[in-house]
Each structure stands twice: as C-alpha cells, then as structure tokens.
Amino acid sequence: MRAGRSITLMAVLIPMVVALTSAGRASATELYSPSVFLGDSTSCVICSIVNTTAIERIVRIQILNSSGVVRHDTGNVTLAANGDTQDGMYTGSNNNTADYFHCHFTVNAAKATVRAQIVHNSTCTSNGSFALPAQ
C-alpha cells in the first residue's frame, strides 16, 4: 500500500512543482513592425521602443532586411522606467542595394506596457518622414 501512495503523491507533487516554478518566469514579448523601403544612402530606418511602466525592462532591437538577415542588433539593453526610449538605427549608406527593412523587438514585458515603432526618415535627421507602429 505504501508504494502505491508514494507514486500517487509523486504524481500530484511533480506537476505542482513544475507549474509553480514556471509561473515565476518572465516571458518575452516579440513585436514586429511593417516593412519600409530604404532606397538611397541619405535615408534611414529607426526602430524605437518606449517603456510606459515604472519597472525597468530588458529589450533587444533588431533591424532585418527582406531576406530576414539581421542588419543591426542592439543586443540586450536596459530600458529604464517611465517613458525611457531605446533606438536602433540603420542607414542607407550601410546598404549596398535598395531593400525593405523591418524592426523586431524582444522585451521582457507585456505588449500593453510598451510602445514600439519604425520610422523611415529621408534625411536621417530628427524629423521622420513617417512612423508605423509595431504589433
């Protein structure tokens, strides 16, 4: 009888331990922007993400071309609390041929707690030509 009770107890405890240890893990949210065309050496793509919470976050921004090749990667960086912004930029002068580019954001936060976008800028100055949200 004792052997049967031990097996039953283990069958109950193991799933509980797995569920409890998994619940504490932070899950990563991935956001993708639409693609924009970068056709000359004076234009650029800027990928920007804003933290809207009072909690520091870790974010990674990648800029990929139409073939899925990563052309810029910030690596994991800290996104400070309360509206801090982190940018990644890729300029046309880095691009040998015209291509489409999009942003890939990975952040340890819920989607609702960050705002991300891609900005196409025809002159690589602070005034963007247009911006599109990442989802």
Q: Which domains does the chain have, with CATH numbers?
A: 29-133 (2.60.290)
3-state secondary structure of 52: coil
User: What is the number of other CB atoms lying within 10 angstroms of the CB of residue 32?
Assistant: 14
Q: What is the pLDDT of residues 64-94, one digit of tens each?
A: 999 999 999 999 999 999 877 778 788 776 6
Q: What is the pLDDT of residues 107-131, one digit of tens each?
A: 999 999 999 999 888 777 666 677 7
Q: Which of 45-49, 96-100, 115-119, 127-131 has the lowest mean pLDDT?
A: 127-131
Which among 36, 123, 43, 116 has a CA at the least distance from the CA of 84?
A: 116
Percent of the chain's residues with pLDDT above 90: 36
The β-bridge partners of 45 are 90, 120
What pLDDT is attached to residue 100? Answer: 92
Amino acid present at 88: G
Question: Which residues touch 122 (CB under 8 Å, ≥6 apart)?
Answer: 42, 43, 129
Of 87 and 32, the one with more pLDDT:
32
Of 81 and 2, the one with more pLDDT:
81
What pLDDT is attached to residue 40? Answer: 76
Let me know: does 12 contact 89? Beta carbons within 8 Å: no
